[in-house]
Amino acid sequence: MDSHKPEGIRLLGRVLPWLLIVVLAIAAPYALPSFRLNLLGRFLSLGVVALGVDLIWGFTGLLSLGQGIFFALGGYGAAMHLQLTCATCSRSAGGIPEFFGLYGVKQLPFFWWPFHSPWFTLVAIWFIPGLVAGLLGYLVFRNRIRGVYFSILTQAALLVFYNFFNGQQKLINGTNGLKTDVTRLFGQMVGSDIMQRNFFWLTVLCVVVAWWICRNLVRGRFGDALVAIRDDEARLRFTGFNPTALKTIVFAVAGALAGVGGALYTVQSGIVSPQFMSVPFSIEMVIWVAVGGRATLLGAIFGALGINYAKSLVSEALPYLWLFIQGGLFIVVVTALPDGLVGWWKKGGVPRLLARFRGAPRLATYPALELEGPDKPRITLKGDQQ
Amino acid sequence: MHGNAPIDGSAPLLELDGVSVDFDGFLALDDLSLCLASGELRAVIGPNGAGKTTFLDVITGKLLPSSGDVRFKGRSLLGQQEHHIARLGVGRKFQSPRVFENLSLRQNLTLAASVKTPLALLFGSLGRSERDRVEHLLGVIDLADRPHLLAGELSHGQKQWLEIAMLVAQDPDLLLVDEPVAGLTDGETERTADLLRELAGDHTVLVIDHDMEFIRRLDAPVTVLHEGHVLCEGTMDQVQCDPAVTEVYLGRADETP
């Protein structure tokens, strides 16, 4: 494998993917029409969300159907700041966002105030979703609510948030959501091509950083403990670990990632609305990870990108067809590719598929003997081999 | 009442004092009292339903007894969470082997050996002695040449041994071993008995089983449980001659050829 290759090729193998990412990221805004670039940027921000879903579901086995909550919280944070900068620079409606005028609100609600500060906003878009996730997670995990009950609970929480945001016109414009594309940042329209290009690059950077954080979380003993929770949580308890603490941490991290993804998605789609917390959307997040490959970080990113691209292409051509395709994909993954596409690739799916066409090599004896050779000691307990 | 006994050589490591567990009127443990000295190897036997596993559940914090007290190093364990009890130095091996199947052998052992707080897992590194312990244990279970094998790929017997090794990696003062030889071959059973005998001394070991040959080979004092309380204690020979034991346990075994 890798160890047989000369040093130079191995180095190239490590540097080349990064080089490719940098080149593609720089070239994309010049190669793609602005509509396509915008889509790519939005889907990449969904990739950040998918990384979080992978962390809690793929590695730790917590199937959350409520990631939309944290996604929306991040989006609202970013949108509130943009609405405020817009209101202050225009001075049209007494320094508060225009929509308040529709409901006769004269005073800015108190929780809007801190969002005047760009620095507060930059922290809030990941800290608030992370905190909410941490609190929610702690209460649920402390009471040892697991499995399908956890999933139902997260979905219920999602509906609570959805209904609350939908109903609060006077606080956050209710169903209509908050628009961001006609707001200004650094003197530029947020919806302008230049700003969109910058947001695209920011998104690429965020995906890389999020991937790096997740990778460091899952590769060491912390990640082993997460997998151990998925395998046998009770056993881990008796080994001296506190699964509640581990699960709370990882759920908070996933919430924070969803928040960052939501903020990036909002500035690139031009609006945040309670629809971000619709039940199907949170379920789709799980499908991205399932198709891309659970417990593979790249799988989560590619899953989010691939499915959403397919969705937009299919919907452009045959709008009614997409839901069938999505359902079909899910069935294929559950029945034929339980590890998802990247998992299938990693476990040698491609050679196996090719071998199927060529005809598999015939093994005359027990496969393990053929593969390892008869001289190699078989695994045995102490003393079994005289 | 004894109060909190001082921790010295003479004080028992584990004390169960009149423990009862009531499952809706069924007494799984009935006023059970038992003492384990430091460094002792003890075998606990009893027919099915005698309360052997319930007894371990009470010690490790999985079950709260309806009455009585459990003291470990002079401290009451009642109401403590499972992971606190484990960190105090109580390790448990389960009846059917439970290992982390999607982790490699080395990862399984390393997790058991490491400091268990999230921060230590993230930012700390494994100490020299822990690393040596893991490598040594890989050798003990004869899998030193395949540390990257997933635990799920092991045979039943190897899983039993891996779980015992994980228990040792945890370095507890008290090892509670529930049916370590279920499903093992005769050779493996003998070696398991030898391994547990070696562990006693440095550790206090309590073994639950009903394989008589295995218990005999342990060469340890035997406690017989019956219907949730201690029927008698003694050496294997004494216990086997006890008419009460013969009646509830061995007698029954004799009837079926």
What is the Cα–Cα distance from B68 to B224, expressed in whole angstroms? 20
Residue A205 has pLDDT above 50, yes or no: yes
Chain A segment 158-217 residues within 8 A of B by beta carbon are 217
Greatest mean pLDDT range, A3-7, A147-151, A332-336: A147-151
Cα(A153)–Cα(A170) distance, integer angstroms? 28
Q: What is the pLDDT of residue B251?
A: 53
Nearest to A308 by CA among A257, A267, A269: A269
Task: Test A240 with B86 for CB contact under 8 angstroms.
Answer: yes
Residues 74-133 of chain B with CB under 8 A from chain A are 81-83, 86-87, 91-92, 94, 98-103, 107, 110-112, 114, 116-118, 121-122, 126
Q: What does the alpha-carbon distance between residue A168 and residue A80 come to, in Å, rounded to a whole number?
A: 14
**Per-residue model confidence as pLDDT tens digits over A37-57:** 999 999 999 999 999 999 999
> Under an 8 A CB cutoff, do A228 and B187 touch?
no
Judged by a CB distance cut-off of 8 A, whether residue A241 touches chain B is yes
- pLDDT tens string, chain B, 257 residues long: the values are 344 444 444 578 999 999 999 988 888 999 999 999 999 999 998 888 888 889 999 999 999 999 999 999 989 999 899 999 999 999 999 888 899 999 999 999 999 999 888 888 888 888 889 999 999 999 988 888 999 999 999 988 889 999 999 999 998 999 999 989 888 888 889 888 988 998 888 899 999 988 888 998 898 999 999 888 898 899 888 888 888 887 876 555 444 44
**A246 closest CA partner among B110, B116, B8, B4:** B116
How many other C-beta atoms are found inside a 10 Å radius of the C-beta of residue A296?
Answer: 24
Q: Test B101 with A231 for CB contact under 8 angstroms.
A: yes
Question: What distance in Å separates the CA atoms of residue A72 and residue A282, rounded to the nearest whole number?
Answer: 11
**A230, two tokens:** 């998925």
Q: Are the beta carbons of A297 and A218 closer than 8 angstroms?
A: yes
CA dihedral sign of residues A267, A268, A273, A278 = negative
With CA atoms as reference, report the closest residue to A275 among A173, A355, A126, A203.
A173
Task: Please calculate the CA angle A169-A175-A177 and round it to the nearest 5 degrees.
Answer: 85
Which chain B positions have a beta carbon within 8 Å of A221's beta carbon?
107, 110-111, 114, 121, 126
**CA gap B159, B101 in Å, rounded:** 9
Nearest CA-CA distance, residue B86 and chain A, Å = 5
Dihedral over Cα of A293, A295, A296, A298: its sign: positive
Query: Which single residue is written with the structure tokens 């908050």?
Result: A178
Cβ–Cβ contacts within 10 Å for residue B140, how many? 16
Residue B52 C-beta-side C-alpha neighbours within 13 Å: 21
What are B141's two structure tokens? Answer: 């279970």
Cα separation of B36 and B42, whole Å?
8
Query: What's the average model confidence in pLDDT over A370-380?
Result: 49
CA-to-CA dists, residue B55 to B27, B32, B45, angstroms: 12, 9, 12
ipTM above 0.90, yes or no: no
Domains of chain B in start order, with CATH, are 14-98+173-255 (3.40.50.300), 100-153 (no CATH)
Going from N- to C-terminal start, the domains of chain A cover 19-278
Average pLDDT, integer, range A325-335: 89
B157 touches chain A (CB under 8 A): yes
Q: What is the layout of strands, in order, in the sheet containing B229-234?
A: B90-93, B174-178, B204-208, B41-45, B222-226, B229-234
Smallest CA–CA separation between A283 and chain B, in Å? 26
**Which of B116, B122, B146 lies at the smallest CB-CB distance from A241?**
B116
CB-CB contact of A71 with A262 (8 Å): yes
Burial A364-386 (b: 16+ CB within 10 A, else e): eeeeeeeeeeeeeeebebbeeee
Residue A368 forms contact with B (CB below 8 Å): no
C-alpha separations of A344 from A57, A317, B149 in Å: 18, 29, 19
Asked if B71 reaches chain A (Cβ–Cβ under 8 Å), the answer is no
**Beta-carbon count within 10 A of B13 CB:** 22
Distances (CA, A) of B189 to A353, B56, B146, B160: 44, 22, 23, 11
Tally helices (H) and strands (E) across chain B.
11, 10
| Buried b / exposed e along A201-222 (16+ C-beta atoms within 10 A) | ebbbebbbebbeebeebbebbb
Distance from CA of B182 to the nearest CA of A (A): 15
pLDDT of residue A75: 96
In this predicted structure, the answer to whether residue A386 has a pLDDT above a threshold of 60 is: no
The CA distance from A83 to A72, in Å, is: 16
B10 touches chain A (CB under 8 A): no
Neighbours of B196 (CB within 10 A): 24
Which 8-state DSSP code applies to residue B50? S
Render A88-143 in DSSP notation, one character per residue: HHH-TTTTS-THHHHTT--S--GGGGGGGSHHHHHHHHHHHHHHHHHHHHHHHHHT
A221-238 and A193-219 helices, crossing angle to 10° = 50
Section A188-212 average pLDDT? 90
Residue with tokens 């399908």: A148
Q: What is the mean pLDDT of chain A?
A: 87
